[in-house]
Structure 1
Amino acid sequence: MRTGTILVGVDGSAGSESALRWAVREARLRPGPVTAVFGWTAEGPRGVYRAAPHADHDALARAAAAVLDRAVVDVVGQDGRVGQDGRGAVGQLVVEADPVEALIKNAGTAEMIVVGARGHGPVHRMLAGSISQGVVHHAPVPVVVTRGSVPAVEERDSRPVVVGVDGSPSSLAALTWAAVEAEARGVQLRVVHAWGSGNVVGPALIASWQQSLVGQAQRTLDAAVADGVGERANVDAVVTGDLPAQALLRESGDAQLLVVGSRGRGGFAELVLGSVSHQCVLHAACPVAVVRTGPR
């Protein structure tokens, strides 16, 4: 069971409210605490300036703290507790720094970081790929980007946890991480291996290769499940000839969480435009967890 801190980025936006709600739901499955982090600078978020009576440093700092406190109260109530038994108040941390920097600087002892898909970042960051993309690129821990609707804290979610595997070390780390999440929720773990490459070949080659490709894909999936999951009763393994991003985005429509590795067959040093992970973070219908290779 995971016991480390869940860091969640909060900026007063609807996206960050969704992230905080997801983090609180996660905290109910484990003994670890939640810390809501609010990063602010002279560039924003805009809510800080609207809340500040004066444009001096102290007034802005107090306004930032007020915006964060209000966001926490809106999600978890006046007492800031995450458990039905009154356990675990949500911690609040206001940092005078860029939101991405604020989260990365405080990730040292965290178990994961949770951010919304859209926030109140400045225009230049929105153009560069948003706060969520910045955190996914640079965080040393798994990052969950909340997309789609996140159920209320008290609602039960029986949808499966879906994870994409391709046999790479990163996907095996994602598989192991996803298995823990599915077990904590008491739901099915759906393991997807998509072997489609998108290469255009003739019908004769397709016919001669298909059986071999399907067999190889099944062996890759079986080995990954054996290494990353072991003997678990509620595992559904899926092999498909679709492109990996296409298959995972389709599966995300019926999932409560989609888990991917940060580096796959292409050996990406970071998430780059066109990678499976990047496409899932941008377009999935449910929250997406991006898991780094190897232990902390």
Structure 2
Amino acid sequence: MKLLVAVDGSKNSLRAVKYAAKLAHLLRTSSNKITLVSVHDDTGLRHARAFVGKAEVADYLRELSEKELRPARKLLKDDGIGYDMEIRTGHVAQEIIDCATAGGFDLIVLGSKGRGALADLLLGSVAQRVLANAKQPVVIVK
């Protein structure tokens, strides 16, 4: 089973990684695979590109993603689970869905965030958007 786990550096996303690791152990087959994906919305940094350059902004986002992925990678490594990583930029929910579709993943696992109900109603969350639009099953871990 191919698992895609979205990681944003939060405690909830690390819980999602732990859940995926348990699931991988329970479903142990030769095709089990966990892929960690980190996505940053670069919309707010497009203006900064004019001043610091496109490469610098890309480097900054890559370094930020690598920092956020570090605890998840350590957890999987310590647990003896193989993994791949994807680092993307763009609309976060859509990039997670696109990654899951392009990679032929069987399940998307992501953490929830503790925003208030009113903010979720008005803005929507990444988890809600992925849940509503993904073709694959989605597990949201609290």
Q: TM-score, normalised by structure 2?
A: 0.79
- Give the deviation of 1:197 after TM superposition: 3.8
Question: Which portions of structure 1, spanning 4 or more consecutive aligned residues, are displaced by more than 3 angstroms?
Answer: none
Check if 1:176 corresponds to 2:26.
Answer: no
SS of equivalent residue, structure 2 residue 47: coil
Q: Find 1:269's aligned residue among 116, 120, 123.
A: 116
User: Residues 82-113 of structure 1: CA distance to partner in whole angstroms, max 9, x if unpaired?
Assistant: xxxxxxxxxxxxxxxxxxxxxxxxxxxxxxxx
Q: Which has the larger radius of gyration?
A: 1
Aligned-pair CA distance for 1:211: 1.3
1-structure distance, mates of 2:126, 2:42: 12
Residue pairs, 1:26-45, within 5 angstroms: none
Aligned residue for 1:216? Answer: 64
Change (3 A) 1:213 1:289: same
Whichever structure has more helix as a proportion of its residues is 2
1-side partners of 2:20 and 2:58: how far apart? Answer: 29
Structure 2 unaligned residues grouped into runs of 5+ = none
Number of aligned residues: 130
Give the structure, 1 or 2, with the largest relative contact order (CA under 8 Å, sep 6 or more): 2
Q: Is the CA contact (8 Å cut-off) linking 2:14 and 2:71 kept in structure 1?
A: no
Cα offset, 1:244, TM superposition? 1.9
Give the fraction of aligned pairs with identical amino acids, expressed as a percent: 25
Once residues 129 and 16 of structure 2 are traced to their aligned partners in structure 1, the CA distance between those partners, rounded to angstroms, is 16
Equivalent residue runs for 1:232-271 within 5 Å: 232-253=80-101, 254-263=104-113, 267-270=114-117
Matched with 1:30 is none
Provide structure 1 residue ranges, at least 5 long, that are not aligned to the other structure.
1-157
Instruction: Report whether the alignment pairs 1:284 with 2:134.
Output: yes
Task: Please show how residues 1-296 of structure 1 align to structure 2 within 5 Å.
Answer: 158=1, 160-185=2-27, 186=29, 187-199=32-44, 200-204=46-50, 205-207=52-54, 208-226=56-74, 228-231=75-78, 232-253=80-101, 254-263=104-113, 267-270=114-117, 272=120, 273-292=123-142
1:238 positional shift: 1.5
Q: What is the TM-score with the length of structure 1 in the denominator?
A: 0.40
Matched-pair contact (CA < 8 Å) for 2:49–2:57: no
CA RMSD of aligned residues (A): 2.1
Distance 2:66 2:12 in 1: 19
Contact 1:221 1:239 in 2 (8 A): no
